[in-house]
Amino acid sequence: MQKIQNFINGEYVDPAEGQYIDNIEPGTGKVFAQIPNSTQEDLDQAVEAAKEAFSVWSAMSVDKRSKIMHKLADLIEKNLDDYALMESRDNGKPLWLAKAVDIPRASTNFRFYASAIVNFSSEAQVSEGFMVNYTRRAPIGIVGCISPWNLPLYLFSWKIAPALAMGNCVIAKPSELTPMTAFLLGKLANEAGMPPGVLNILHGEGKGIGQAIVEHEATKAISFTGGTTTGKIVGATAAQQFKKVSLELGGKNPNIIFADCDLDEAVKTSVKSSFTNQGEICLCGSRILIEESIYDEFKKRFLEECKKIIVGDPMDAKSIMGALVSSDHLDKVDSYVKLAQEEGGTILHGGKRIDKEGFYYEPTVIEALDANCRTNQEEIFGPVVTLNPFKTEEDAINIANSTRYGLSCTIWTTDLKRAHRVSHAVQSGIIWVNCWLVRDLRTPFGGMKDSGIGREGGNDALRFFSEPQNVCIKL
């Protein structure tokens, strides 16, 4: 069985206290690897390495940093098959999905920020004849990047890439449920020519090493993606030392279908936005709100499509959905389906575990729930969606805004004015009109309300990972 290691100062090392935890393969339910359960001593070593490396990395020319990051992107592409296989075994997602989305996007993240940093310029304000101000943006120092299990390398690299591009050194922790591709990344960072200590990767539990990274006085900014409950702890901990913090948290996203939509497109894409990656994408539309006049027609066509979804072995190219990430998560999803029934919901499709080794669950569609019940208010983060009729545009907006979350929303309509009107009224950081999960990496990414604070993506991330300093010159 594979025993993975931490990556500190450019070397793979065992955890100082020799503690390991089992990593389970969701597709089989069996132990697949052992991962370090890192402690303060490991963190202290990573901090020492990062401190040493900072003077080299932050002083390196932007062109040189950019070249190293482009090389890293190339190497990820070159290793696509191996990485996708590891990601799929680690997470339970279909191999084809890891190959088509997760790993290519990780490489794109490095490539995007390798280019973005070259094009990033300081702002200047000229008060003619009086003064000139310019804002210098310096790297912060050592930053902590903590990521979840649903899109392992994709989200890990989404944080690391802008932090490194800006000249910071990174101490990163992937989820303990999906450590494999982050583990592999160390080797490629070395091959790409990244100086030792610039990127350090520690494995282990959130409450242990995750919390320690946030608490350590050496980490000056924390970029966190995960659940809202954890985000609250991370935010409160970071606040004690006035650290910069970016929190990308949970969601309960509405998918609003108006009667004037292109129904073929709306049905086809809604199946994807409900069940892609087993519904384990923070941006999945888990509450489908449908205008009353087309409710029956949408329901009929949506259910026909759901029946075609094959759930099975992540390695099988025919599987549209693979396994859920863990046994605990499977229990959580199942408990919500039971709750939905207690709350008066009717299961229209699915609603059961699949009787095979591993953590498989049927794609599940539920109707006849109140908009304010727990099933419609709390994040399930699995293959479960609810169908909810609405009467008017105002109703749709009210239902959409009725949860504590505000991450993303999809709107289906061919009425241009309505598209803008509803977009502006819905409290979500990301709005898709007649599409879903289409991303331009230059745009600000993140949520409103309890879905987080701060925005990632484009120059927002480069600004987050830098310290602005205004210089004023009197003319």
If one asks whether residue 345 binds ligand NAD (CB under 6 A), the answer comes out as no
The SS3 assignment for 469 reads strand
Strand order in the sheet with 6-8: 11-13, 6-8, 199-201, 169-173, 142-146, 219-225, 244-248, 452-453
> Any idea what DSSP says for residue 294?
G
Kindly report the number of other CB atoms within 10 A of residue 372's CB atom: 10
Q: How far apart are CA 419 and CA 421, in angstroms?
A: 6
If one asks whether residue 173 binds ligand NAD (CB under 6 A), the answer comes out as yes
Kindly report the number of other CB atoms within 10 A of residue 328's CB atom: 11
The SS3 assignment for 343 reads coil
Which residue number, 267 or 380, has a Cβ lying nearer to ligand NAD? 380
Q: Which of 83, 96, 381, 465 binds ligand NAD (CB under 6 A)?
A: 381
Kindly report the number of other CB atoms within 10 A of residue 9's CB atom: 17
Q: Which stretch binds ligand NAD (CB under 6 A): 142-150, 188-196, 265-273, 389-397?
A: 142-150
Number of residues that bind ligand NAD (CB under 6 A): 31
Measured on CA atoms in the order 74, 76, 81, 84, is the torsion positive or negative?
negative
Q: Which of 4, 234, 311, 387 binds ligand NAD (CB under 6 A)?
A: 234
Within residues 48-107, the interface with ligand NAD by CB under 6 A covers: none
Tokens representing residue 54 in the block: 């900072």
Q: Which of 43, 97, 116, 146 binds ligand NAD (CB under 6 A)?
A: 146
Q: How far apart are CA 313 and CA 28, in angstroms?
A: 8
Q: How far apart are CA 376 and CA 383, in angstroms?
A: 14
Q: How far apart are CA 394 and CA 413, in angstroms?
A: 15
In the set 176, 248, 379, 456, the catalytic residue is 248
If one asks whether residue 363 binds ligand NAD (CB under 6 A), the answer comes out as no
Q: Which of 407, 441, 461, 462 binds ligand NAD (CB under 6 A)?
A: 407
Which residue number, 56 or 236, has a Cβ lying nearer to ligand NAD? 236
As measured in angstroms, the least distance from the Cβ of 56 to ligand NAD is: 28
Within residues 436-455, the interface with ligand NAD by CB under 6 A covers: 447, 452
Which residue number, 68 or 218, has a Cβ lying nearer to ligand NAD? 218
Q: Which of 210, 235, 322, 457 binds ligand NAD (CB under 6 A)?
A: 210
Q: Which stretch binds ligand NAD (CB under 6 A): 58-66, 78-86, 143-151, 385-393?
A: 143-151
The answer for residues whose C-beta is within 8 angstroms of residue 121's C-beta and 6 or more apart is: none
Annotation marks residue 217 as catalytic: no
Annotation marks residue 472 as catalytic: no
Q: Which of 57, 113, 149, 183 binds ligand NAD (CB under 6 A)?
A: 149
Please compute Rg for the chain using Cα positions. Answer: 23
Pairing of strands 142-146, 219-225: parallel
In the set 261, 282, 306, 409, the catalytic residue is 282
If one asks whether residue 249 binds ligand NAD (CB under 6 A), the answer comes out as yes
The SS3 assignment for 386 reads strand
Q: How far apart are CA 248 and CA 154, in angstroms?
A: 14
Residue with the closest Cβ to ligand NAD? Answer: 206
If one asks whether residue 26 binds ligand NAD (CB under 6 A), the answer comes out as no
Residues with catalytic annotation?
Answer: 248, 282
Binding residues for ligand NAD, rule: CB under 6 A, are 146-150, 155, 173, 175-176, 205-207, 210-211, 214, 225-227, 230, 233-234, 248-251, 282, 379, 381, 407, 447, 452
